Amino acid sequence: MNAIKSNSNLNSKQVYPLSLVYTRHQQAKVAATSGKRKVLRRANPEKIALPTLDGLVFEDIRNVVYLEAQGNYTYIHLTDDRKMLVCKTLREVEENIRTEIFVRVHRSYTINMNMLARYVKGKGGYVIMENGAMINVSAGRKKSFMEAVEMLF
């Protein structure tokens, strides 16, 4: 546990615990000033907070079929055929999810491997998701996609 010592009496070795929120805030400040991104653990890894134009939407990660980049925005495609526009880049959404079941298969697409129905071979090939969506796998990302398939299945 993080703690700080009292400055007034160093010999007494009093230790004051810091709150988790304060600690994360300090870590984020250090990461921001150092230029490196510090990855912090989320309290609930099964859900993700998605910033939309109306506010935050909390969605179960298992309901996400795939992510689609649209410039500085990302479309989240869900199992119930909903499509949400999020005010974050694809990379930022991927960083918030932080799970091995999401794999980038194209510059504009990240898929949930648990929602994968079929892979069709080709130069890069393409995948068919459980909701029927067909997504190209780029030739440059085919190797990492196939490694993810071997690891997960």
Question: Which segments within 73-112 are labelled E, that is strand?
Answer: 73-78, 83-86, 102-106, 109-112
pLDDT (0 to 100) of residue 75: 97
pLDDT (0 to 100) of residue 46: 86
pLDDT (0 to 100) of residue 97: 87
Q: What is the pTM of this model?
A: 0.71
Which DSSP string do the residues of 124-145 spell out, in sequence order?
S-EEEETTS-EEEPPGGGHHHH
What phi and psi values does residue 125 have, to the nearest 5 degrees? 85, -175
Place of tokens 């918030």: 96
CATH number of 47-152: 2.40.50.1020
Q: Which residue ranges in the chain fall short of pLDDT 70? A: 1-44
Q: What is the dihedral of CA 52, 35, 110, 135, to 10 degrees?
A: 100
CA dihedral sign of residues 85, 90, 91, 93: positive
What confidence tens digit (pLDDT) does each residue in 88-104 have?
A: 999 999 998 888 899 99
pLDDT (0 to 100) of residue 52: 85
Q: How far apart are CA 105 and CA 126, in angstroms?
A: 9
C-alpha 152: how far from its chain's center?
A: 18
Taken as a whole, the chain contains a residue count of 153
Where along the chain do its domains lie? 3-34, 47-152
